[in-house]
Every structure is written in C-alpha cells, then in structure tokens.
Amino acid sequence: MRLHLWRLAGPRPGPAVGLIAGVHGDQTTGVETVRRLAACLGGELLAGTVLALPVANPYAYQARSRHSPIDGNNLNRLFPGDPDGEFSAQLAFVIYDQVVRRCDYVIDFHSGGKDATVDFAYAYGDAHVARWFGCELLLPGPAYPGALSPVADAAGIQVVAAELGGANQRNEYYVRRGVTGALNVLRHLGMLRDEPQLPRRQVRLGSYTVVRPHHGGILVSGTDSSRLGDTIAGGTELGRVVSPYTGAELETLTAPYASSVLALTRETVTDIEAGDYAFILGDGSTADNGGARADPGGRGAGC
C-alpha cells in the first residue's frame, strides 16, 4: 500500500500546514476538498509549506467503509500509532510520524459519512485556527482516545477538525466550503495573498450532546440537512425509530436542551442501529455570542 503525500512549498520560510482527509473511508467530500486545494495552490504559496494527504486510509476508502477492511479497526482511534501493531496501528504511526509531526497546523477533514450530514468544526485549545477556518458553528473538540486531532493538539500542533457534508447531500457546496476554510487559514498565516473570507457571525458552543437510539430500525427524521445550524426548542421531536418488520414505533428522539442547536442530522428515512449517531445538538445556553444562526454573508467560494 502507498500513501500519496503532496508537498507544496512557497519561496519564503513560513509555517507548515497539513491537509489530511480520508481517515474514514466513507467520507469522500474531504478527499475531493484536498485534491482541489492541492491543484489550486501550485505556484500560489507565498511562504511556508503545505503537506496534503488526500486519502489517509486507502483500503477503507476503496471499501467506502469507516473501518479498515484489513483488521476492522477505526484508524481515528489509534493515533499516534504503533510501528509494531496491527495494520491500522502501523498506518496511524506512519501518518503521525511522516506528516503530522512535520506540521505546525493541521486541518483534519471529516464529514457525516454515508448516513448523516454535518456542518460545524471542532475547536481545540483556544480555537484560534478553527475560528479562522470560518465555520459558523464551533463545538469543543472531543477527546476520543487515539483520534488524530486531540493527539496533535496535545503535541502542541494547532488543529481544526472540519466536519462538512455527508450522506451525499449538497456535495459541491460542502467541498467549496472546505476549500474556502483551508484558504482562510493559509491567508491568515500569511501563506497566501488576500484576506480571509469569514461569516459575519460565528457561534462557539461550550457543550453538546450526541443523541443515539437504544433500538435499531428505520429512523424517520423530522429534520434534514437544510436545518443544520437551526435552534430547536427543548423536547421537540427530532425523529422516531420504527421497526421495519412490524411497523411499531420503538423510540422517539427529542431535543435535549432548552435551546438546542442542530449540528448533525439525518435525512428523512435512514437505517440505524442502536448506539449510532442520530443527531448532534449543541447547548445554545453556552453560546459565546448568544445566537445560533450565522449570517451567511461574507462567505467566499474559494479557488
């Protein structure tokens, strides 16, 4: 197996920025985002270096799977890796040692995968890089053991995990958002000309909840990707899990906070298993600017 790493260097010294996608093989929007960025950055960098890894997990990407078909592992729970471990642990070691450790900043591209759609960024540390990336909604970065972003953050590398798109919803829109976000960071760092193109408002939430069902079946959702970023009153029905065999309603999922901000949702009808991601909602009472819906004005299209 080969990892294809693209290195783009400006004529002057500057920071090193890593662009990493495809850690989960079912998240293709990030892969296309990194490809477009590498294609449009050639000859444009004023300073510094960009290391672009478009497909971090090739076998999982080939299988369109979140987990590796080689050993069944989730690569994003194994960083910084183990050179003597199972296949995915060895892969994590190579990515961390040969890419992540060579960077001052890392943009880690993710999406909602095959079933969910997302529109936010995880912020780590003081959220400096995440704010300049330009997502309208920022959530506190989770500390899943072995995830790339918190491991990089603990090593002193400034990181943003961009969660954009998924479920084949508005793919072109989310790819362009990812391109614009990465260009914003490079512009802010003085690696490109022009000023970052940011939304007029951003909302950073202090806490959030993943809503997971206790029953598998069909999730009949009351929201779709057009509602991402909306504020939903506490107790509002988000969706129902019904049995595909009997038609019986097994469970009702509701908004957990008095002011719940929708960050991940599913389309109207999807299969779901017990414990799957159904919805992510931020606690609107912890917002640093008291709002949830940002004005889309000022968002650029990228290159």
Amino acid code (one letter) for 293: R
3-state secondary structure 219-279: EEECCCHHHCCCEEECCCEEEEEECCCCCCEEEEEECCCCEEEEEEEECCEEEECCCCCCE
The per-residue pLDDT for range 39-97, each reduced to its tens digit, is 989 889 999 999 999 999 999 999 999 999 999 999 999 999 999 999 999 999 999 99
Q: Give the whole-angstrom CA distance, residue 126 versus residue 7.
A: 28
Q: Does residue 229 register a pLDDT over 80?
A: yes
For residue 91, what are the β-bridge partners? Answer: none
Say if CB 218 and CB 270 are below 8 A apart. Answer: yes
Lowest mean pLDDT among 122-131, 153-162, 238-247: 122-131
Identity at 134, one-letter amino acid code: G
Please provide the size of the chain in residues.
303
Say what the pLDDT of residue 128 is: 85
**In the block, residue with structure tokens 């009949």:** 220
Sheet containing 237-242: give its strands across.
249-254, 237-242, 217-221, 269-272
Residues in contact with 155: Cβ distance below 8 Å, sequence separation at least 6, in sequence order: 100, 101
Could you give all domains of the chain from N- to C-terminal order, each with its CATH number? 6-188 (3.40.630.10), 207-286 (2.40.50.100)
Is the model's pLDDT at 227 over the cut of 70?
Answer: yes
Q: What three-state secondary structure class fits 66?
A: coil
Q: Calculate mean pLDDT across residues 269-281.
A: 97
